Structure 1
Amino acid sequence: MCTQLRFLFSLVNVLMLLLLGSPDPGAVFCAYAGYWFAGCALLTAGMLASALTNSATVAFVFGVVFCCVPVLLYHATDVVEWLASLVGGAKDLYTLRNALSALSLQQQLLDFSVGVLPLAGICWFIFFSLVMLYANLVVISKRRWAEGSEKSAGLQYLVRTLCVAVTCGSLLFMLSRMPLRADLSAENLFTLSDATRQTIAGIRETQRVTIQAFLSPEVPSDYVETRRQLVGLLREFGRSSGGAVEVREILVEPFSEEAEQARALGIEPVRLQYDRNGKRVEAEVFLGAFIQSASDELVIPFFGKGLPIEYELTRSLRTVSAEKRLKLGVLLTDAQVMTEGAGGGRWEIVRELQKQYQVVAVNPSQKLIPEEQPTADTEKPGEQAGEKPAEEKKPTEAFDVLLAIMPSSLTQPQMDNFLEYVKSGRPTLVFDDPCPFVFQTQAGLSMAPKMPKAGGGGMFGSPPPEQKADNGELTSLMTLLNVKWDNGQITYDQSNPHTQFGTLPPEYVFLSKSGRDAEPFSRSSAATRALQDLVLLYPGAISDRAGRKEQTFEPLLRTSRSSGLLEWDDYTSASFSPFSMAPSREIKQNIRRNNDGGGHVIAAHIRNESTESPLNVIFCADLDMITDWFFMERNRGMLDVQFDNVTFVLNAVDSLAGDETFIDLRSRRESLRTLKFVEDKTGTLREKLNVEEKEAQAAMDKALETAEKELRDEISRIEKDETLDDRSREVQVSQKEQQLNRQLEVRKEQLERDVNSRVRRSAVEMKREVRRVENTVRIVACIVPAILPICFGMLFLGMRNLAEQQSINPNRRKS
């Protein structure tokens, strides 16, 4: 009865979660099921302790000891290593550690906590209960043993108990080799996806694929779950392939032959720091794979915490088993994403795309559309048969998708070739940026479309470089796409749902499904429908000019209504670069913003299926979202928020290539679940702060306008004074202008200080209110679950007192 009441009381926590947010019902159910199984199993251990003695105190101590055994198995190896160190034989016991941790209670509850009902985990609790119940049976039946036969009967039942334990352990080991489980999580993240099953089924048995996984026996605690998932998925791949995929798990210890073999295959260890026994330890960890088929091979150097393991394995399997990869062309621009050498090497986006596509560099100075090669029976114009042409040019390779990064840096001849390719209707992915933050240095901004091409000229007398087509405005491309894009205009967004990044300026645009505003991602596009969080740095904005009946403009990324636009001079200021000895631009620290109340499109898919002017272009007005940092962070997984920048880029390429096999798999992850109640309250406070900022800015503008009007009236009064001659009037007007301008500057500075002070006070007050809301929710979440048990406790106490009073003779009661 008490257990059932405790179970009902704990449901109040679930009710609080339902009121404050939207928890995963499958994960909640599995968590309750796991704790119920664990409670039942540990209860049998407590029953055994009670059966061993008549003393409640001793039974309690025995019960704690028995229940601690499966819990402390997780740390038992540390004790063994410590004892071994006392006798001078300290050594990391990898195999023993893995075996004992796999038998621990914490490891068995791990699957339950993520929404999975594992058969092996359920059987672990059942077999543990069976062993404990049999031991209870032996202890209880001990009182019926014949006198004088206790030793022989005790030995007999001890052997029987050990046999039961060994039998249960053997069955458990066999069941653990068959990873049967029920995935009840809302997104079914722990079940092989259809794309994975189709990929495995498509591998012919004659085309055998080998996966060699090089794994360190011991990894930091942060990577234990990653290693466990990797091993489990590899075994599932091998079991589901019917022999077509051979999986080899190779344990790699430092300075071993296996370590040298891994390095020879391109799998380098990653040096990680972690805490162990209170000490900061640094170790080289191997966690990579080498996938090989008869026709191709591929290396995954390291499975980081943020890397989607199933996607990486499935993509690698399909890549090495495919007879031919799709080809991706990367346009050579000033961004130098394909550059090898001292400049830093290729961008991570290229390395990532090379895992799936055949990536080739495309020279914009040549024709991008491959021309049909003449046959032996045809002759080129102006050539005689058997005569070698004066100059042979390597023909342009045909590719399935063209990736153009910063095409605003192209010269006019290069732009003509690029436009010719886009006009043909071939798939094109374009990234351009009015303020490429990634190229900012101590000398200021560089590579911005509004700035001239770098290089050449100067004191050495080298000729200046050929300038950008359309002065970097992409006018011809925008006219072709029938869209509007300003090469100096950026957008900002003051709606930031991630409080841990609250110190960043609004020009760091966060797009999130957890926001309170309109949908930031297109639900109809395969490239964006599964995205959850994106961050863009000083992005631009594009808009549709409309007017073409056959053309569609599908917004893919859009800011919230708490956003606005900034012109080039609003967020940058003139500076001087001591390195190039030339004028430069730098980003302002204090930027004046004015929300316009409408969302702005950052990326869009422009399509035209007509035969006269076909188009298939995805244009994104931000370059910083595909820089190396996001690819490295995706692998490391160090942030609390998992940004989908890499996913968006890869999805866009796949969508244009017409191969959407991996899009759903790549985007497969747990849905972002937040406390909507808290977000709604804090969002209202942030909107109030935005309104106050706008009112303060409007008041300052009005005050400045009034001061300027007074200046003009004063000057007008002097100009109309007929008692002054022309010379005196001119002098007095000039003096008055200087005096009033100084006063106006002082007044402007004072107003700006007042506005900044008012905004800071409002921001501090807003943060206090946010903290108050969070603390209120925290206190309510702690108090409300305790109310029901307290009420029941008081009820039972009152009923007990009432029963005691009724059972006492009235004559014995004190008056």
Structure 2
Amino acid sequence: MALNNVTTALLSLLVHDLVFLALLVAIVALLAGTKQAAFAVMKRNFVGYFSNPTGYVFLCIFVFLTSVAAFWPYEFFNQNLATVDQLNYWFPLIMLVFIPAITMSIWAEEKRQGTDELLLTLPADDFDIVIGKYMAAAAIFTASLLFSQISTFVTLAILTEGELDTGLIFTSYLGYYFVGLTMIAIGMIASFLTGNLTVGFILGALFNAPLAFASLVESVSPNQNIAKWIAASGIARPFDDFGRGVVSSSSVIYFVLVAAVALYICMVLIGRRHWTGGKDGNTMAWHYIARVLALVVVTAGAVILFRSRDVFRHDFTEGKVSSLAPATKKLIRELDSDRPIVIDAFISKEIPEVYAKTRYELINLLKEFRSEAAARGREITVNLYDDIELFSDEAALAEERFGIAPQTRMVKERGASQQKQLIMGAAFKSGLEKVTVPIFEYGIPVEYELVRSINTVASGARQRLGIVATDARLTGGTVMSGMSMQQVPRHPLMDELGKQYEVEEVDLNSPVSPDVYAALLCVQPSSLAPPQFDRLLEAIRAGVPVAIFEDPAPVGAGYITPTGSPKQAPGGMFGGGGGPQPKADIRQLWDLLGVEIPGRAGMQEMYTPDLVWQQHNPYPTLDDQANELWIFIDEEAPGAEMGMALSQDNPITSGMQEVLGIVAGAVLAKAGSPLKHTPLLQTGGLSGLIDGTKMQQIMTGQTTVARETKGIKPSIPIAMAIEGATRAAADDAEQAEGEGEDGAADPAEQQSKPDTNAPGIKAVYVADTDMMLPEFLMIRADPNVVTEARFQFQNVTFVLNCIDWLTGQYDFIEVRKHEPIFASLRMIDSVKEEARTAVRNGSKDFQTEYDAAIRDAQEAQQARMKELQEEVEKLQKQNADGNVSRAELQAKLQTFQTQQELEQRKLDVKRTKLERDRELKVRDIERAAADEVTKIQNKVKAAAVTLPCIPPLVVGVIVFAARRLRERENISKSRLK
């Protein structure tokens, strides 16, 4: 399968290359038909280069250097992405060696051999000679680049098992091609200036050096404005688009114009023979210098003009890693042009492997924000401080001015857990509004964080989100735990929502105005007192959007009163608070929302909902913790219909992959309800209901889920989106319509009629509160919090989507859906997974050995103490009968206690030794696993660097041997001796 994928990927690249070569062949054919002299010059130089073994030596060196730059740096395997980022960094330096090696002989060799006069007497103009020489050098470079591309691509295809981004690799090499064409034109200037090959090589490198090193000026220049302008004039800025998989008109125009200016200078230099010896030679020299300077100024102006006005810009990557979501582009278009936005992003040079994708995505998106804003005429200034040291001036600036300090994270690298510091944060500012993201955690959508932050500082005002005060205590508080008060911390979800909304607690002691809050979030409304509950119903009827999370059996937060349980007074059973407190009748809310909750009525007018079970667990490592009451909602569940588990009919769940509910209830649409009900989360085929009153017995092990099932009931919804007008509103509307048809109604009756244009209900009902536990925010930030599991839960995204759907912030929902696809080194990943499995299995074996050894030691200790304990018990019995003195019993007890302490110390010593041995064994197997991964990486490096060099060397040897044989053909045997 992997071989087929590699072959398919290679064929895809070859198709791209063939289309590109067809375009080049068409250009050469056009040249051959219209400029025969230029074609002859091109053919002569190209054939001459590859008929000489020296050409293959240079080709071998070029392939060797590109392979070393691409695969040898530590960052390649640490990043674990199938990109050529490392080659992008080193490519300009490689070109400073390779391009002068091609261009140094273009004209200098003609001068040295005296063949330049022959070329100049051909029936051709100066343009034919220059363009012929240029296209010959370009053809040589094209052949070298194609060979390097194929060798690099094959290596990446093997490492990714064929699952790599062909578009990214192709556009990166297309960028190399434009860089090469530009540097060749500049290198030709050096060759036209001298007849010495060595001087031509040095001048070619010197003339190209400013463009190659222009991007480094910012780190040494005291004037940052001038430094930025100089840096933007180099090849790094326009090539950056190609390196990220983006082909833009501004980048292409830059390279074409610079190459055109260089070629014009070459024409001036080759044509100087016409006027240098004349009486107007000096005048003509100044004339041509003025021409060149004017052309340079025009070119610079054109480059600056097109840089901010891309006529064409397209992301050719297959994973769309350098694209903005349509909703993001819409946001940028709608930004106020009078409110400039400044983004200061700081990223450290060394980051853990798990943050590599986040770093790559963050840098790409920031650059795309800058380009998109420039194209739309919006002012978004991006100051990107990349590859900074932890104790550099940039790091100090980030901490002092923006509060972006180095963050410490525990990561596992090279077989050992270790703490690493990194900086990866950004500050957003517009006017007086400021937002800081201290760190982009690798599990959080980067584009969503950027868009949300930009929108916050750009708008200057946020919608208000009301958090209803219930037993859930989302904003923090205190609860009675036993005989003491326990502090409940503020739910981290409030901080997450606070980045986008103005979050405010609502106690419902007074009516809620529909104009105050964009939406309400109410967790466990059944715990409200009747007056507060009535005001919640009034707010829903008044059209206030609301997200309801009602759990029949909260597990993660034990202080939340279950739906069917009475609410105890503060102070508990012995705290002086008394018995159960008044509690709302949750069935009124169900009637209002037109939903039906399966269950049964209980004591004190309580209603206990049934619980949902499902036989599906995509994480085998959770077998010991998870059971049928853990509801994994995904399309892989047995019997789950495509697009039904997570509804594709509502923006909230459209495009999502997996949500986890823990001990959830069911929510069904009531027959005949005028409201529109859309099931958001549904179980698969192997699911059903159990009696909610059996929950306590299940938790204590008195019964099991299997015993209490009521049969299979597939596709049970546990979350529902509800919208539309209630039955009463619909009846009022019909009555008003009928009166309108009969004629004008009595004024008094008209005043008493309800407003038929009143907003309808918009709500989300979720029969579970555990799906918004703080642990899910931790999992989102760190999906590898349990290394063996690698959770993919999107619970936080689901909750945020619910709120945004209620408030009408649909753009943020679309942004969250836009997830770029990165190609990773799957072959290395499989080796790492095998190593992790070996470590996991070895650790379990060592733990089993440790437990057995401790158990044996404890049994041996008990056996040794048994005889002494029996003697003590015998003496105690005899002492009770008066047959043994108290002193003798006391002495025996003392001996028993001393021996017991001695045995305990022996056991503690043995336990400590066994723990140390276990840790050493685990460490050894982790080290062996890490060494195995390192060995594979080193083998890949060696193969990637050496194997591509073999074909050009073999061809070079063949060419050399053939050339020697031809030289010896017409030589007499006597001279050969």
Inter-partner Cα distance in structure 1 for 2:427 and 2:619? 37
C-alpha contact (below 8 Å) 1:338/1:346 kept by paired residues: yes
For 2:628, which of 506, 512, 519 is the aligned residue? 506
Q: Name the residue aligned to 1:299.
A: 436
How far did residue 415 of structure 1 move?
1.5
For 2:554, which of 412, 416, 436 is the aligned residue? 436
Q: Secondary structure at the match of 2:426?
A: strand
State whether structure 2 residue 656 is matched by structure 1 residue 531. Answer: yes
How far did residue 337 of structure 1 move?
0.6
Inter-partner Cα distance in structure 1 for 2:346 and 2:63? 36
Q: Name the residue aligned to 1:637.
A: 783
Inter-partner Cα distance in structure 2 for 1:484 and 1:175? 60
How far did residue 194 of structure 1 move?
2.0
Q: Secondary structure at the match of 2:552?
A: coil
Q: Name the residue aligned to 2:590.
A: 478
1:183-239 Cα deviation digits (max 9, x unpaired): 356674531222212222222232111112122222123223321221222122123
Inter-partner Cα distance in structure 1 for 2:464 and 2:199? 72
Name which one, 1 or 2, has greater alpha-carbon Rg. 2
Query: Aligned partner of 1:245: which letter?
Result: I
Inter-partner Cα distance in structure 1 for 2:328 and 2:414? 40
C-alpha contact (below 8 Å) 2:573/2:579 kept by paired residues: no
Q: Name the residue aligned to 1:650.
A: 800
C-alpha contact (below 8 Å) 2:179/2:235 kept by paired residues: no
1:13-35 Cα deviation digits (max 9, x unpaired): 3799xxxxxxxx9x994698599
For 2:366, which of 234, 247, 250 is the aligned residue? 234
The equivalences for 1:126-145 within 5 A come to 126=177
If each structure's helix is expressed as a fraction of its own residues, which one has the higher value? 2
The equivalences for 1:140-539 within 5 A come to 154-156=197-199, 158-159=201-202, 162=205, 172-178=235-241, 180-181=246-247, 182-184=314-316, 188=320, 190-241=322-373, 242=377, 244-250=379-385, 253-255=389-391, 258-259=394-395, 261-263=397-399, 265-274=402-411, 281-339=418-476, 343=487, 345-364=489-508, 366-370=509-513, 398-440=516-558, 447-454=561-568, 456=570, 460-464=574-578, 467-470=581-584, 474-485=586-597, 486=599, 487-497=608-618, 504-515=626-637, 517-518=640-641, 519-539=644-664
C-alpha contact (below 8 Å) 1:28/1:115 kept by paired residues: no
Gaps of 5+ in 1: 1-8, 17-24, 39-46, 80-94, 138-150, 372-396, 576-584, 674-815
C-alpha contact (below 8 Å) 2:66/2:91 kept by paired residues: no
1:86-126 Cα deviation digits (max 9, x unpaired): xxxxxxxxx99994499899899799934644786123553
Query: Aligned partner of 1:417: which letter?
Result: R
The change in CA–CA distance for 1:174 and 1:259 in structure 2 (over 3 A counts) is closer
In the alignment of these two chains, the number of paired residues is 575
Inter-partner Cα distance in structure 2 for 1:628 and 1:286? 24
Q: Name the residue aligned to 2:129.
A: none
Q: Secondary structure at the match of 2:697?
A: strand
C-alpha contact (below 8 Å) 1:400/1:427 kept by paired residues: yes
The change in CA–CA distance for 1:159 and 1:323 in structure 2 (over 3 A counts) is closer
C-alpha contact (below 8 Å) 1:127/1:168 kept by paired residues: no
Inter-partner Cα distance in structure 2 for 1:421 and 1:540? 25
Query: Aligned partner of 1:492: which letter?
Result: W
Q: Secondary structure at the match of 1:526?
A: coil
Inter-partner Cα distance in structure 2 for 1:555 and 1:303? 33
The equivalences for 1:81-96 within 5 A come to none
Query: Aligned partner of 2:425: which letter?
Result: G
How far did residue 598 of structure 1 move?
2.2
1:482-515 Cα deviation digits (max 9, x unpaired): 3222444211221345556566322221122344
Q: Secondary structure at the match of 1:469?
A: coil
Q: Secondary structure at the match of 2:236?
A: helix
1:135-193 Cα deviation digits (max 9, x unpaired): xx9xxxxxxxxxxxxx9855256447747975995775242244633435667453122
Q: Name the residue aligned to 2:33.
A: none
How far did residue 591 of structure 1 move?
4.5
Query: Aligned partner of 1:545: which letter?
Result: K
Query: Aligned partner of 2:335: which letter?
Result: I
1:505-552 Cα deviation digits (max 9, x unpaired): 22221122344521212222111222221111111101122223x322
C-alpha contact (below 8 Å) 1:120/1:176 kept by paired residues: no
TM-score of the superposed pair, with normalisation by structure 1: 0.61
Inter-partner Cα distance in structure 1 for 2:523 and 2:614? 24
- Percent of aligned pairs sharing the same letter: 26
For 1:562, which of 667, 686, 689 is the aligned residue? 686
C-alpha contact (below 8 Å) 2:634/2:659 kept by paired residues: yes
State whether structure 2 residue 5 is matched by structure 1 residue 13. Answer: yes
1:19-78 Cα deviation digits (max 9, x unpaired): xxxxxx9x994698599999xxxxxxxx999988699xxx99x98775443233357677
The change in CA–CA distance for 1:32 and 1:276 in structure 2 (over 3 A counts) is farther
Gaps of 5+ in 2: 22-46, 76-84, 95-148, 189-193, 214-233, 248-313, 479-485, 600-607, 730-759, 824-977
Inter-partner Cα distance in structure 2 for 1:97 and 1:116? 16
The change in CA–CA distance for 1:34 and 1:455 in structure 2 (over 3 A counts) is farther
How far did residue 267 of structure 1 move?
3.3
1:604-655 Cα deviation digits (max 9, x unpaired): 1222325834422210001111122222222223264532212221121111
How far did residue 420 of structure 1 move?
1.9
Q: Secondary structure at the match of 1:564?
A: strand
Inter-partner Cα distance in structure 2 for 1:600 and 1:672? 35
The change in CA–CA distance for 1:258 and 1:345 in structure 2 (over 3 A counts) is farther
C-alpha contact (below 8 Å) 1:456/1:465 kept by paired residues: no
Inter-partner Cα distance in structure 1 for 2:496 and 2:763? 21
The change in CA–CA distance for 1:435 and 1:460 in structure 2 (over 3 A counts) is closer
Query: Aligned partner of 2:632: which letter?
Result: F
State whether structure 2 residue 660 is matched by structure 1 residue 660. Answer: no
The change in CA–CA distance for 1:35 and 1:368 in structure 2 (over 3 A counts) is farther
1:255-307 Cα deviation digits (max 9, x unpaired): 55654554454434331245677776532211111112124222222112222
TM-score of the superposed pair, with normalisation by structure 2: 0.51
For 1:546, which of 664, 671, 680 is the aligned residue? 671
Q: Secondary structure at the match of 1:573?
A: helix
RMSD across aligned C-alpha pairs, in angstroms?
4.7
Q: Secondary structure at the match of 1:653?
A: helix
Query: Aligned partner of 2:505: which letter?
Result: A
Q: Which moved more, 1:617-626 or 1:634-643?
A: 634-643
The change in CA–CA distance for 1:290 and 1:277 in structure 2 (over 3 A counts) is same
